[in-house]
Amino acid sequence: MTDHRRRAVVGADESLPVVEAAAEELRERGYDVETVVDPDWPAIGRRVAEAVVGGDADVGVCFCWTGTGVSIAANKVDGARAALCADAETARGARKWNDANVLAMSLRLTSPAVAKEIIDAFLETQPEEDERRRFSTLG
């Protein structure tokens, strides 16, 4: 039997405490975490999304100053559904109703404590089956 370790990639265009807090939260949840810091925020969004869509990561979290740029870049990857979340309830809704598979957050607005809450909500929520079917019909 093959031991499948859960993998996560955390990407950011700046190395700030919130990025390390996100990586640490994932490690505490049993993930092997790759952290990528590159000032090229479009490359960060793309790299995180490609890792998730390609199966190299089970979870992808990306950051830029507002979170908007990395979420837009991630959503350009076919199969990625990145959601910009500023709180835990938004993260729950993104998973439940939108089957989000990449989490984007703002470096400017997100504290380490709030990032942990957002990640917990994102990981603990499963998509509703009706919503999965709805998204599978989009072209």
CA-wise closest residue to 19 among 99, 101, 98, 115: 115
Please give the positions annotated as active site: 64
61, 36 Cβ separation under 8 angstroms: no
Q: Which 3 state secondary structure label does DSSP give 54?
A: coil
Joined together, the tokens standing for residue 56 give: 């190299």
Joined together, the tokens standing for residue 45 give: 């969004």
